Amino acid sequence: MFEGSYLGDAGRLPADARLECKICWWVYDPALGDDVWQIPPGTPFAELPAHWKCPVCDGARDQFMVLE
């Protein structure tokens, strides 16, 4: 696994964790949600739907790294 990975276990993430796509560097910020996928603000990464992907490059959710 790569540095910053949540190792596929979203349950390990705090609700306010921000994650960055390692392919295109887009950041998922739970405070903002995701307009493309109609994810409302306040939705933690762990609660994103299973079919959710990066709205910019279509990268899989396991391609995201935890930001400090």
How does pLDDT run across 5-63, given as a tens digit for each residue? 777 777 788 999 999 999 999 999 999 999 999 999 999 999 999 999 999 999 999 89
Closest among 32, 30, 24 to 10, alpha carbons compared: 30
Task: Tell me the C-alpha distance between 58 and 55, whole Å.
Answer: 6
**2 has pLDDT over 70:** no
Closest among 3, 16, 2, 67 to 45, alpha carbons compared: 16
Domain ranges of the chain: 20-68
Residue 56 in tokens: 């910019």
Please tell me what DSSP assigns to residue 60: B
pTM above 0.85, yes or no: yes
The pLDDT assigned to 9 comes to 75
The pLDDT assigned to 7 comes to 72
CATH code of domain 20-68 = 2.20.28.10
CB 68 within 8 A of CB 62: no
Banded model confidence at residue 4, pLDDT cuts 50, 70, 90: low
